[in-house]
Chains A and B, each alone.
Chain A
């Protein structure tokens, strides 16, 4: 054993120390997205909606999948971002990138302030409070009709061309590239976070919060940090949808939006960074197919799909792939 241990040690340390390196398969979603631009010119607007939604679901993965913070209130931040970008564009400031940043910052601020209060709790109590925050913002947006358009939604947004050169045209080309670029940036940041010591400590909190306290981690502070970062992601996603559709409705703050994000995340796979990339397209395709086959009860089929996934593949599609890979290696 003593003879073998130096190499065994190198193997162990190397496999652990190289986990953050890029693997070839990680390029796949981006190649698909680039191919989509050229091969499916008729679906570019749908594509940009998918990218923005992936960013939203990625924000949910950071809090739920990594840090284990249960939430049904991600829409609060999505809606905050959407309304921030929307109100700016409807009131004379249509520059998209600064609007996106402002939306993201505003959502982060809402995440920080609400998190300061509600993250003291955990589990069911926290779940309800995340719901309440989103519900309060929903009602606030409904009441502030002068700014938000209330029930009718915010209209009259004038979003300027990107860099002053590339207008959001009817073919959706600029929107496609814009959303893809923002998603790519968000993914880079998220990837950096989850592989950092901070990100690893989040998984520690998810696995065993009591032990994280016992090894001296400032658990409360870390939860607040990731909650705020996640809110910023969700806010950017809301801004993307607002800017590319030139419309913000109250549904951007709805429970349905939060819930759908979780469904998409669970379909794709929690805590794996790529769950959003699989879950969002699958959900949207399933939604499209099911509603074509069964326009009235299509949600039933989504529900059935969820039940099947929870029963037979609790790691989602990515979990299934991991299991298949393990079996294949044996």
Chain B
């Protein structure tokens, strides 16, 4: 069996009586376009937090490109190419868009601990940040503080910061959350254009987006994997309809 870009074995997490991850075995192949779906409270974001190290698992292991990273600090996992975005934009609100991305690039290149040379002299970092913003259509707002941007644009900055880190595995936690459907098309096209060698796990409620982007879908229910398969199979699966799509009908 080839090395998965990301793999969890028996990943578990409980907060007292509440189990958010119940022995999750999960494989994200390299270059994957994989979606993680499930009803509210299924443990999707907790799964991201466990994998990235923001939460410490109660049990199980996490492997990145075959290496066991379960005990690594969050920052060390990022250095190995495991990068996430946030469901609710977690940006440097009062800093300009360019700086949000430049901070990530400086961090990736190990420059961010430097005390002597001014940040402005690291021209390569600034140019790379600019080009990244340009490729996402954000260049015209590069110098605007993030908190002056429309939320849909902030979602793009969220992705830009992640891309600045040069991810091998990219976890997108509801990239289109809070964005009006008229604007989510931009985000979809950005995700579609992500480099093919980056393994992407996308967590999303918007089924249109999921079925458009994902080649594999995993359904998570109450901290456990219910079923996994290609989109067509998932859409036809009766259990998924009952648990997930059915829930919508009842609302």
Q: A residues touching B (Cβ–Cβ < 8 Å)?
A: 5, 8-9, 12-13, 15-21, 192-193, 195-201, 203-204, 207-208, 210-219, 222
Pairs of residues from A and B, 3 with the lowest C-beta to C-beta distance, nearest first: A216-B78, A20-B118, A207-B92
Task: List 24 contacting pairs A-B, 8 Å CB cutoff, sorted by A.
Answer: A9-B134, A12-B130, A13-B123, A16-B98, A16-B102, A17-B123, A20-B120, A195-B120, A196-B114, A196-B117, A200-B112, A200-B119, A203-B95, A207-B91, A207-B92, A207-B95, A208-B92, A210-B86, A213-B54, A213-B74, A215-B78, A215-B164, A216-B79, A216-B107
* Supplied contacts A20-B120, A215-B107, A218-B75, 11 more A-B pairs, CB within 8 Å: A17-B121, A17-B126, A19-B119, A197-B106, A207-B94, A211-B90, A211-B161, A213-B74, A213-B75, A214-B84, A216-B76
- Contact status A204-B52, CB under 8 Å: no
Say whether A200 contacts B116, CB under 8 Å: no
Interface size class of B (residues with CB under 8 A): 35 or more
Of residues 55 to 106 in B, which have CB atoms within 8 Å of A's CB atoms? 74-79, 83-84, 86, 90-96, 98-99, 102-104, 106
The reply to whether A204 and B103 form a contact with Cβ atoms under 8 Å apart is yes
Docked-complex contact A200 and B103, CB < 8 angstroms: yes
Partner of B99, one of A16, A212, A216, A222: A16
Contact of B86 among A20, A198, A211 (CB under 8 A): A211
Which A residues lie within 8 Å of B134 (CB)? 5, 9
Contact of A211 among B76, B92, B143 (CB under 8 A): B92
Measured between alpha carbons, how far is A214 from B95 in the docked complex, in Å?
Answer: 17
- Residues of B within 8 Å of A196, CB to CB, are 114-119
Interface contact A215-B119, CB-CB below 8 Å: no
Set of chain A residues within 8 Å of B113, measured between Cβ atoms: 197-198, 201, 218, 222
A192 to chain B, nearest CB (A): 7
- Across-interface contacts of B54 in A (CB, < 8 A): 210, 213-214
Chain A residue at minimal CB-CB distance from B108: A216
The listed residue (A13, A211, A216) touching B91 by CB distance below 8 A is: A211
Interchain CA distance A62-B182 in the complex, whole Å: 43
Smallest Cβ-Cβ distance to B141: which chain A residue: A12
**B198 contacts A by Cβ under 8 Å:** no
Q: Does B127 contact A (CB under 8 A)?
A: yes
In the assembled complex, the CB of B163 is this many whole angstroms from the nearest CB of chain A, namely 11
Pair A215/B90 contact, Cβ less than 8 Å: no
Contact across chains for A200 and B78 when beta carbons are under 8 A apart: no
User: CA of A19 to CA of B177 in the docked complex: distance in angstroms?
Assistant: 34
Given A203-B95, A214-B74, A216-B75, does the pair A9, B120 have CB atoms closer than 8 Å?
A: no
**Whole-angstrom CA separation of A196 from B119 in the bound complex:** 5
User: Which residues of A lie under 8 Å from residue B130 when comparing CB positions?
Assistant: 9, 12-13
- B142 is an interface residue with CB less than 8 A from chain A: yes
Evaluate contact between B143 and A207: CB separation under 8 angstroms: no
